[in-house]
Amino acid sequence: MSLKCGIVGLPNVGKSSLFNALSNAGAESANFPFCTIDPNVGIVPVPDERLDRIAGLVQPKNVTPTSIEFVDIAGLVKGASEGKGKGNAFLSHIREVDLIIHVVRCFEDDDVTHVEGGIDPVRDIGIIESELLFKDLETLERREERMKKMAKSGDKTIQNHVHILGNLRQHIEKGNPVRSWKDWDPSHPALQELFMLTAKKVLYLCNVDEADLPDGAGNEHVMKVKEHAASEGTDALAVCAKIEAEIAELNDQEKAEFLASLNLRESGLNRLISAAYRKLGLITFFTAGPKEVRAWTVPEGTKAPQAAGVIHSDFERGFIRAETIAYHDFISYGSESAAREAGKMRSEGRGYTVKDGDVLLFRFNV
């Protein structure tokens, strides 16, 4: 499956600079609002040392990581929900992503203009959230108005749908995001295809100076963002877009040395991807053979036939069994054959739930 993350934030908070560093896609970055008009898209291979270690043992012709898609959505401003700053077009792009990466500026720099005149990341978060809420309310009111007209026929089901929509509207009108509504279920007939923007899960990314790495512990702005994130049950990461840009230009050895010099265990990209996977409940399994060692992404709780279907629909349709080796067993024994001889390869059926790190060989017949 393809993971799609939308990078949002006010203008000049470092979104495009961060996007360039993460995707190395060369998105334009400049010190003026609306530098990004159409969303830039970058497909980024997901770094996973487990894939590298498996490939080191198997020595395949090809090694294929799973990937994550970053979409750099233009900076939003007050009034975006009403079309200000081309806001309607920008908001529509958010509907297409799985996760919102909300970048907030947590650094001081007189040479970089802030669209609101000063640094206050919690205020900035509120501006973006309000615009998304206004857009959701507009979408919901249109649906509710249509349903009310249909409910005049006396249809009890439609009347119930109107009641549900009204409850959601009241929740939004209090300034609450859809994701915090206890009854939110996008599969419910009344709520299908509403595409609520504030139903999206969110991660906050604090753009800081190098001196505030690795976690922004001494930065009061970061601490406030982390408190806000905790109140929403999500996470906030501190990264330095400038440092990430430098890291992106280095080879593996230089990157390791540079990170060590900054007392960083891993890059901001790695930490962001790990956090995104956790937030969306995703895991990785592997396939390994002489032609290719490959990583695959599936939601946590995926059964073996559905995991096989990620590779090819025929694998799911004709699924017989999944020959499974836990990652640590594969590494410990050094090969599939050695793990099999040691009794570490298991034959799992349709009811098997794939585990993170499983090395799988699917048997199927079509």
Query: Per the omega criterion (within 30 degrees of 0), is the bond before 60 cis?
Result: no
Q: Has 15 been labeled as part of a binding site?
A: yes
- Give the dihedral of Cα atoms 45, 46, 50, 52; nearest 10 deg: 20
Tokens describing residue 28? 């334009």
DSSP string, 283-334: EEEEEE-SSEEEEEEEETT-BHHHHHHHH-HHHHHTEEEEEEE-HHHHHHHS
Q: Has 231 been labeled as part of a binding site?
A: no
What is the DSSP secondary structure assignment for residue 81, as one 8-state letter? G
User: Please, what is the Cα angle at 124 between 241 and 94, to 5 degrees?
Assistant: 75
Question: Comparing C-alpha atoms, which of 69, 26, 27, 25 is closest to residue 45?
Answer: 69
- Edge-to-edge strand order for the sheet containing 99-105? 40-45, 67-72, 3-8, 99-105, 201-207, 236-239
Q: What is the rounded distance in angstroms from the CA atom of residue 63 to the CA atom of residue 221? A: 41
Q: Are strands 319-325 and 359-364 parallel, antiparallel or unpaired?
A: antiparallel
What is the DSSP secondary structure assignment for residue 98, as one 8-state letter? S
Tokens describing residue 2? 């393809």
Question: Comparing C-alpha atoms, which of 361, 336, 360, 351 is closest to residue 285?
Answer: 360
Question: Comparing C-alpha atoms, which of 167, 77, 94 is closest to residue 131?
Answer: 77
Q: Has 16 been labeled as part of a binding site?
A: yes
Q: Has 84 been labeled as part of a binding site?
A: no
> In one letter, which amino acid is 113?
T
Question: Comparing C-alpha atoms, which of 14, 178, 24, 195 is closest to residue 94?
Answer: 195
Q: In the chain, where do the E strands start and end? A: 3-8, 40-45, 62-64, 67-72, 99-105, 201-207, 236-239, 282-288, 292-299, 319-325, 346-348, 359-364
Q: Has 180 been labeled as part of a binding site?
A: no
Tokens describing residue 131? 């615009």
Positions at the binding site for ATP: 12-17
Detail the residues annotated as belonging to a binding site: 12-17
